[in-house]
């Protein structure tokens, strides 16, 4: 019988990474220096997540999709994505600015690589004083302005900067120029894609004194200019309720802050459910089994589950993600 699945995190060292995945989220980062990313749930080749709990432990996510198919992901999702898992969940710690980058949309990525593009969402967990995110071009920036800034190494002057605090959420449609600023720890919910075009890296050098590769030519056709969406998400939060943060074509995200037991019923949702624990600790009871997640952990609830109980040990905040 399928049950809520936990996975082993995969830590990725980055030139801009820090120590908050260990110090704030409490993860054992296995001695890796400058951990920039913790991949929590992934079906991408080369970084497929491995189950850490129950009788399916040591199997990877793609293997169990092949076995359980619609019972794991849902009928419509399996029909569309087959054996591929449609989402990628990460924690990201930016001790320094990430590169300024853009991701292609589905049409461009399919044309170039035969795969989907990358729309994503950020939810801020912790931010140092003055820290923020770079999202979108300033009003009126044209392609010609951008090309001139690339040539002059002044791309940052064209970007909108948003100071942030815990709980702030941002929607980053494919085609949006963006960068996570130093001092921000967040969780990233995205389409399952790792296609990134780096267009500016703050004139930074690596340990060998070399600049990282830029992808300015590839990025030209991917970037959106002119009128763009409102990137910072306005949402309401009521305790002891499930509050919608975003509902887009690629994923739906809710937030829950609760200190009393909650029964969740999924009869009308033809999708897996992912819970990301932002704060606190909660027991998940399903069909006689119990799993626990705490701050910095995730769990994947299979589509076949029609209900479960969430029993917090202290006030807990969860992100609830599904298609």
Residue 268: the pLDDT is: 84
Of the listed 198, 204, 212, 241, which one is catalytic? 198
Q: How far apart are CA 277 and CA 281, in angstroms?
A: 7
CA separation, residue 147 to residues 132, 143, 154, 218, 228 (Å): 25, 6, 10, 13, 19
Burial track 85-114 (b if 16+ CB lie within 10 A, e otherwise):
bbbbbbbbbbbbbbbbbbbbbbebbeeeee
Residue 228: the pLDDT is: 66
Helix, coil or strand: residue 284: strand
Task: Determine whether 198 is an active site residue.
Answer: yes
Residue 207: the pLDDT is: 67
Q: Any idea of the CA torsion for 86, 251, 296, 56, to the nearest 10 degrees?
A: -40
Which pair of tokens denotes residue 107? 């049409």
Identify the structural domains of the chain with CATH numbers, from first to last.
Answer: 10-220 (2.60.120.10), 242-322 (2.60.120.10)
CA separation, residue 67 to residues 2, 63, 64 (Å): 11, 7, 5
Confidence (pTM): 0.95
Which pair of tokens denotes residue 6? 């936990």
- 289-294 vs 120-127, strand pairing mode: unpaired
- Measure CA 256 to chain center: 17
> 292's torsion region: left (phi>0), alpha (psi -120 to 50) or beta?
beta
Residue 227: the pLDDT is: 64
Neighbour tally for 229: CB within 10 Å: 11
pLDDT in tens, the chain (323 residues): 899 999 999 999 999 999 999 999 999 998 898 999 999 999 999 999 999 999 999 999 999 999 999 999 999 999 999 999 999 999 999 999 999 999 999 999 999 999 899 999 999 999 999 999 999 999 889 999 999 999 998 999 999 999 999 999 999 999 999 999 999 999 999 999 989 999 999 888 766 777 788 998 899 999 998 766 789 999 998 999 999 999 999 999 999 999 999 999 988 899 999 999 999 999 999 988 899 999 999 999 999 999 999 999 999 999 999 99
Residue 203: the pLDDT is: 81
| Secondary structure in 3-state letters for 153-189 | CCHHHHEEEEECCCCCEEEECCCCCEEECCCEEEEEE
Which pair of tokens denotes residue 35? 């951990």
């Amino acid at each position: 019988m399928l049950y809520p699945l936990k996975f082993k995190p995969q830590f990725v060292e980055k030139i801009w990474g820090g120590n908050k995945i260990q110090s704030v989220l409490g993860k054992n980062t296995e001695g890796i220096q400058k951990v920039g990313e913790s991949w929590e749930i992934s079906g991408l080749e080369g970084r497929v997540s491995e189950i850490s709990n129950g009788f399916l432990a040591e199997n990877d996510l793609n293997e169990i999709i092949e076995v359980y198919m619609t019972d794991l992901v849902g009928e419509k999702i399996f029909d569309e994505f087959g054996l591929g898992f449609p989402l990628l969940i990460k924690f990201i710690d930016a001790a320094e600015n990430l590169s300024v980058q853009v991701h292609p949309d589905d049409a461009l990525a399919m044309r170039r690589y035969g795969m989907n593009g990358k729309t994503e969402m950020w939810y801020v967990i912790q931010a140092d004083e003055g820290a923020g995110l770079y999202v979108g071009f300033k009003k009126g920036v044209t392609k010609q302005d951008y090309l001139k800034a690339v040539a002059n190494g002044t791309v940052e002057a064209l970007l909108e900067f948003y100071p942030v605090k815990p709980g702030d959420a941002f929607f980053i449609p494919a085609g949006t120029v963006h960068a996570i600023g130093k001092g921000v720890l967040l969780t990233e919910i995205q389409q399952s894609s790792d296609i990134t075009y780096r267009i500016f890296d703050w004139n930074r050098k690596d340990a060998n004194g070399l600049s990282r590769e830029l992808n300015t030519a590839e990025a030209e056709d991917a970037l959106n200019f002119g009128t763009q969406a409102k990137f910072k998400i306005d949402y309401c939060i009521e305790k002891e309720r499930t509050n919608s943060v975003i509902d887009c074509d690629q994923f739906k995200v809710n937030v829950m802050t609760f200190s009393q037991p909650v029964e969740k019923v999924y009869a009308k949702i033809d999708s897996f459910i992912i819970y990301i624990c932002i704060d606190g600790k909660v027991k998940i009871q399903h069909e006689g089994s119990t799993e626990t997640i705490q701050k910095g952990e995730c769990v994947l609830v299979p589509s076949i589950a029609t209900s479960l109980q969430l029993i917090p040990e202290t006030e807990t905040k969860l992100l609830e993600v599904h298609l």
